[in-house]
Homo-oligomer: A and B are copies of this chain.
Amino acid sequence: MDPVKVGVLGLGTVGGGTVNVLRRNMGEIARRAGREISVVKASARDLSVERICRTTDIELFADPFEIVNDSSIEIVVESIGGESIAKELVLQAISNGKHVVTANKALIALHGNEVFSLAQEMGVMVAFEAAVAGGIPIIKVLREGLSGNRVEWLAGIINGTGNFILTEMRDKSRDFADVLAEAQALGYAEADPTFDVEGIDAAHKLTILASIGFGIPLQFEKAYTEGIGQITRADVAYAEQLGYRIKHLGIARKNRKGIELRVHPCLIPERRLLANVDGVMNAVVVKGDAVGPTLYYGAGAGAEPTASAVVADLVDVVRTLTSDPENRVPHLAFQADSLSDTLIVDIEEIKTPYYIRLNAEDRPGVLADVTGILARHNISIEAVIQKEPLDGESQIPVIMLTYGILEKEMNAAISEIVVLETVKGPITRIRVETLD
């Protein structure tokens, strides 16, 4: 089958990232979607600037309307952002019978009702996973994964810039204005940081999440919004003394009077996972009446994480175009005839660091014997804990942390160590996973 023809409006961070991910993972994506997905046309305000993506094989236009009015384009990716022109383009694309994928939270939060109603009329899809929390598939989770629940509340760190600033204030005991200036210099924060630090961006996203969670219309104008500009490093420190962290949260909660819809700084207990979401990362907690509390964590912005969500939406659309409804998503994600026969690696061929604990006689040279054997198997030691023997005990526990080594080498070393006269009883070895 021919590739599905996609037109991308805007080749900045999101558009450029989308082009890159679609190109790099082309084969894998086609195996999942059942059809190749190809960006054939794209628009950019200035055709001469350098971009994060290659544009060979892509026909470029300065005028995005040329793409939304092009009858060969099946799906339009709107990655221009903002409200006015983006809205016009999206409505035009829908009117022309094209499916639309957008990362535009302001567009959805403010004009979603209008956009969706036209889409329904025209029988096309409008997908917007990338509009909230970047690469975290939170829209899909709420709309589909938790559809059996009454949502009681949801709360999220949904602005990476704000979370970066609060994390730096805490980790380095710095003031708000200081960190903001640095974030601007590094490109993490916009020259005009209002949208991020005043909570408007988060309120756009919260509006969307609340609507999906509670089945209410989009009503951004009713969200309460308060920024983080008033937080001082003293507040961060006092909060810590009290056992809390300060985070900028978007919260939607059903109470007896109605639904709370609010973005503001919060103290949250330090033991909560959400309190430990640091830097530019995002996370959303959803409490459902059946599932209980659940949490979704990942990168909330950036070219590749946002592209991850845009491409997932593209695959969603293409799966709908390609398959009978009951075969829309292949059971194992990939089309049944395209499973790979990649080798499953034998455990002996796997490399990890190790934790080793053994009991040794308390006499000179024991550690030298053990480390000598390890060295002969090219096993380097990162840390050792050797305890004093307890009164009356002749044995001491020796604990070692090694660097990464193939399991077969470790097994060989252990089989030599275990027969040393000075080593008593079995040797415990536990693999270390750094999760990098």
B-contacting residues of A (Cβ < 8 Å)? 17, 21-22, 24-25, 28-29, 31-33, 99, 112, 116-117, 119-120, 123-126, 129, 134-137, 140-150, 155, 211-219, 222-224, 230-232, 234-235, 238-239, 241-242, 244, 246, 249, 251, 254-255, 257-262, 264-269, 272-274, 276-277, 283, 285, 288-299, 304-305, 307-312, 314-316, 320-321, 324-334, 336, 338-345, 347, 349-350, 355, 357, 383, 385, 397, 399, 401, 428, 430-435
Closest residue on chain B to residue A141 by CB atoms: B137
Judge whether B268 and A331 touch: CB under 8 Å.
no
Judge whether A129 and B145 touch: CB under 8 Å.
yes
Count this chain's copies in the assembly: 2
Interface centre among A25, A355, A433 (most CB of B within 10 A): A433
Closest residue on chain B to residue A267 by CB atoms: B432
The one of B24, B258, B340 in contact with A343, judged by C-beta atoms closer than 8 angstroms, is B258
Judge whether B385 and A112 touch: CB under 8 Å.
no
Bound CA–CA A304/B32 (angstroms): 31
Bound CA–CA A223/B344 (angstroms): 8
Question: Can you list 23 contacts pairing A with B, beta carbon distance less than 8 Å?
Answer: A126-B331, A137-B140, A148-B307, A155-B433, A214-B342, A215-B340, A217-B339, A231-B430, A234-B357, A238-B357, A255-B350, A259-B343, A259-B344, A260-B344, A265-B430, A267-B430, A267-B431, A267-B432, A267-B433, A268-B435, A273-B273, A296-B296, A321-B325
Judge whether A325 and B328 touch: CB under 8 Å.
yes
Judge whether B308 and A290 touch: CB under 8 Å.
yes
Judge whether A341 and B430 touch: CB under 8 Å.
no
SS class, residues of chain A in contact with chain B: mixed
Closest residue on chain B to residue A212 by CB atoms: B333
Judge whether A216 and B141 touch: CB under 8 Å.
no
In the assembled complex, how far is the CB of residue A292 from the closest CB belonging to chain B, in whole angstroms? 5
Judge whether B291 and A305 touch: CB under 8 Å.
yes
The one of B214, B217, B312, B399 in contact with A144, judged by C-beta atoms closer than 8 angstroms, is B312
Closest residue on chain B to residue A317 by CB atoms: B326
Judge whether A123 and B215 touch: CB under 8 Å.
no
Judge whether A299 and B292 touch: CB under 8 Å.
yes
Judge whether A29 and B148 touch: CB under 8 Å.
yes
Judge whether A345 and B257 touch: CB under 8 Å.
yes
Whether A242 touches B355, Cβ cut-off 8 Å, given contacts A147-B333, A266-B430, is yes
The one of B137, B285, B290, B432 in contact with A311, judged by C-beta atoms closer than 8 angstroms, is B290
Closest residue on chain B to residue A153 by CB atoms: B435
Judge whether B347 and A224 touch: CB under 8 Å.
yes
- 4 tightest Cβ-Cβ pairs between the two chains A and B: A137-B145, A148-B311, A258-B343, A294-B298
Bound CA–CA A2/B128 (angstroms): 32
Question: Which of chain B's residues have a CB closer than 8 A to the CB of A28?
Answer: 150, 215
Closest residue on chain B to residue A29 by CB atoms: B148
Judge whether B297 and A297 touch: CB under 8 Å.
yes
Whether A238 touches B399, Cβ cut-off 8 Å, given contacts A345-B258, A435-B274, is yes
Question: Which of chain B's residues have a CB closer than 8 A to the CB of A222?
Answer: 344
Closest residue on chain B to residue A149 by CB atoms: B308
Question: Which of chain B's residues have a CB closer than 8 A to the CB of A258?
Answer: 342-345
Bound CA–CA A341/B349 (angstroms): 60
Interface centre among A28, A119, A234 (most CB of B within 10 A): A28
In the assembled complex, how far is the CB of residue A129 from the closest CB belonging to chain B, in whole angstroms? 7
